[in-house]
Amino acid sequence: MANIIVLGAGVMGSAFAQLLADAGNDVRLVGTHLDQDIIDSIKHDGLHPNLNVKLPGRIGAFSYEELDQVLAGSIQLIVFGVNSAGVDWAVNQIGSRLKTIIPVLMLTKGLAPVDNSIKILPHVVQKGLSHFNIVDIPIAAVGGPCIAGELAARRESSVVIAHPESQFLDRLLALVDTPYYHARASTDLIGVEVCAALKNFYTLAIGYATGQLEKKGKAANGALMHNLAAGLFTQAMAEMSYFVNFFGGQPDSVLGLAGVGDLYVTCQAGRNGRMGNLLGKGLRYKEAKSNHMPNDTVEGAELALGIGKTLNRWLADKKIDGNSIPLATKIVEAICDNLPLQIPWTLFYQDT
């Protein structure tokens, strides 16, 4: 159907490459400078060592040093499968080589400070590509509950693909049309992206509950701490709604796959929940990161470090309502100031 480049051979980029191949596309999976061992393994026998699956033969594996060769043919779509820290690298790699307008689909989630504002990553990529005189490039994004390992195992997954133009969305949906990948269209790019970024951020707090349980243990009657986790989940949803409205997104996105769906699945497993667990045990962020997760990119913590100063400045200037985001302020405090994570229960549920 199409020739597609996936930039980033980590677990999500590679699982998505398999999906694209299953949908009948020819896929060129390009590893970053950190992915060489993965690319070498795929070239050898097709095995992705981190996903523990053999990728289909329609997927060609390339190192980033071969990107000129990869872009030499006719390409209909470029997928960004790097983590949030790799977005600038990806923009530079593509921007310096791109000769024609090729649409971009982003798997990468996040928000980034730009001057005195906070932007969704598709807008950051647009601005970055404009420095290479690449303008008016369509950039869409994928949101929703989709764990890479489950996608690689071809388990049923439901997602939302977002872009303001419906016709472009229709073309993207056709490129991922498989029996196990249930993609819906949304024109609310801002709302979907804000939710996609914040679900990692708020999972840090919801994961706090499991850490508290491990620290304090079961009650004498065997009781756990589901109530604690549910209370934090509810406040997180309320604050995500506030942020989506603040940035100009649509409230339906919060109650859909990109919001409640993705927050739910992110709380079940993953790096953000593990960091939250460590914070719940009483560890401070720097200790938890250096001693227990030194090689992991914790997207929620990276988001806090990225936007924390801007958010605090907005709070001081009353540009944003601090009464509506008490949990967010405590997460930022815990990550940016390396303080114990405190749960401000008396400030919750003010608008409910």
As annotated, the active-site residues are 199
Contact by Cβ (8 Å): 9, 21: no
What are the DSSP E strand ranges found in 63-202?
Answer: 77-80, 104-106, 111-114, 117-120, 139-143, 157-162, 181-186
First and final C-alpha spacing in the chain: 48
Residues in the chain: 352
Query: What's the CA angle centered on 81, arms 22 and 294, to 5 degrees?
Result: 125
219 phi and psi angles, rounded to 5 deg = -70, 170
Alpha-carbon distance of 109 to 192, in angstroms, equals 10
CA pseudo-torsion sign 319, 322, 326, 332 = positive
Q: How far apart are CA 32 and CA 94, in angstroms?
A: 12
Q: How many helices (H) and strands (E) does the chain have?
A: 16, 12
Segment (H or E) for 288: helix 285-292
Helix (H, G, I), strand (E, B) or coil at 261: helix
In the chain the beta strands, taken as DSSP E runs, fall at 3-7, 26-30, 47-48, 53-54, 59-62, 77-80, 104-106, 111-114, 117-120, 139-143, 157-162, 181-186
CA distance 307 to 119: 10
